[in-house]
Structure 1
């Protein structure tokens, strides 16, 4: 058990609203105010990042909340420089809380003379003085092995399961969970088993990066409410085409549950104009005003889960208890 009276949270500029929500949840659980540590994280005129921590953090258990989302390089550098500032200020332990871990899609060499950038980023994070990482829905589970420090990878599927049970409670027998590609089958199967429904797969063939040539549905979706589940939605091209393919196979309606709403470029417009009834994302990435205004995009909060995980790490208790939707039900009480 730590001698500190409470964990200390600090945030970069990537997702301040989530960091504040986490600090509120930690305060509620602790029965005392656990605000974000006062610091400035800003740019010099030449865009170099500068960090100054205004509070004493000597001997403290520090948690840096910072998604490495767009602009990925700026947010990653903020994380590394904040970690260095805390290390040099004699913090006893530094945990990087990365709700979204950028560069995760570069996790292997798909062809010759290409980098494995996810491994490089893992090396940089460990070298900056971060002792452990807390993240959610890594693009590939093996990325945990890229780190030589402990990595706790939380899952959005228990939170999604709660949401689906609430939103579709009268027609769960008519719900089919769909993986938008063969690589995401394990994620989709896991969610399907949580809510006790059928599973289908959309098999896609790519001609070149960013373009999908053809899609085939494996499984019977006729008359079903289809829920596409995936970890990342970037330009939404694949997602919208998968929804059209499912409707073409006789699906009654299509919804999507995606952990990380990257939503680059034309994504929001594509989703708004698509045949999909709704897209549900988490707030792992700070949603833009365009995303907030979109009628068929809904955001579920991750602060209750991250706050509990931070308290469990600080207390030295199990984080894997949060993989269970029954355990999360108590944490999310009042949200649904």
Structure 2
């Protein structure tokens, strides 16, 4: 397999993940200098020849979202002017994904705006993971490869021995039923759904459980992200009230802002597994959080894109 023309570069948002991806590809990161001027403007210089190369830029637009997004746009512009054969943006986490529609009058659709900016800045292709809404792929006028963390989580669940117990897969709300069913089909077990209802514009109420009984069983919940942790902790409380013996949570993106860590620490959750799509700061690394790496999954996807092979096979093979 010839990777002579493949090169992985990274911004500052999640360089450790980018380094692991490059190692999985049997290479080192490309030489890209990213700094800040005294007035906080971003300075970028590509310090190697990329003419005719197949370039992959790893840069999740995680908090601080605006800084990381602007840095990515400047990096893209630098590469667009350096004549690579193709530039693929690797977005393990896509910021602004929750602003994907007009849910009230006179508001923007910022997920579409971000897609337009990336395309205008010079991206030829996007590789991303577990978008908050899958239809965001349609906001791009360039090819989008949408991965899911399913293979990473399933491998961990199988190795951990969780499926040796009496397991119920619990969807934390109606919107995550399809995702939860994917895991149930591949692993077995029963299914339940937490009935989440909005009690006010800023608060939700979780009280009912639809489906299999949780009495004395192990509940496993999946979500695409944990932001303030209000929803997932509320769902965990319902599971506990309904008799769950243990509660395990799997979420792709650990945004963990606001009171998230306090809520997770106090919640009746045995363990929370997140991926390294977003770096986990030391002050948020509480004992019940386990970080699983998506480096090999992204590396395999990059290899397949470079060699014009199927990406969907990564999910089907689980």
Q: Does 1:104 align with 2:97?
A: yes
SS at match of 1:272: helix
Contact 2:153 2:250 in 1 (8 A): yes
Alignment match of 2:205 (pick from 206, 213, 216) = 213
SS at match of 2:25: helix
Corresponding position of 2:14: 15
Alignment match of 1:168 (pick from 143, 161, 164) = 161
Any idea what the Cα deviations from partners look like across 1:53-111, whole Å, max 9, x if unmatched? 11111111100000000001111111111111011011110000000011101111111
Alignment match of 2:300 (pick from 293, 303, 308) = 308
Contact 2:126 2:144 in 1 (8 A): yes
Corresponding position of 2:221: 228
Alignment match of 1:267 (pick from 260, 266, 273) = 260
Per the alignment, do residues 168 and 208 of structure 1 end up closer, same or farther by CA in structure 2, a change over 3 Å counting? farther
Corresponding position of 1:62: 55
How far has the Cα of 1:183 moved from its partner? Answer: 0.8
Structure 2 distance, partners of 1:169, 1:181, is 22
Contact 1:95 1:133 in 2 (8 A): yes
SS at match of 1:323: helix
Structure 1 distance, partners of 2:155, 2:271, is 16
Structure 2 distance, partners of 1:81, 1:7, is 21
Corresponding position of 2:135: 142
Alignment match of 2:247 (pick from 251, 254, 262) = 254
Structure 2 distance, partners of 1:151, 1:145, is 9
Corresponding position of 2:183: 191
Per the normalisation by structure 2, the TM-score is: 0.96
Contact 1:161 1:325 in 2 (8 A): no
How far has the Cα of 1:325 moved from its partner? Answer: 4.7
SS at match of 2:73: helix
Contact 1:108 1:116 in 2 (8 A): yes
Structure 1 distance, partners of 2:16, 2:149, is 19
Corresponding position of 1:276: 269
Per the normalisation by structure 1, the TM-score is: 0.91
Alignment match of 1:113 (pick from 106, 109, 112) = 106
Structure 1 distance, partners of 2:305, 2:229, is 35
Contact 2:5 2:52 in 1 (8 A): no
Structure 1 distance, partners of 2:115, 2:228, is 25
Contact 2:62 2:95 in 1 (8 A): yes
How far has the Cα of 1:208 moved from its partner? Answer: 3.7
Moved more, 314-323 or 204-213: 204-213
Structure 2 distance, partners of 1:170, 1:113, is 48
Structure 1 distance, partners of 2:158, 2:5, is 35
Please report the RMSD computed on the Cα atoms of aligned residues, expressed in angstroms. 1.5
How far has the Cα of 1:291 moved from its partner? Answer: 3.0
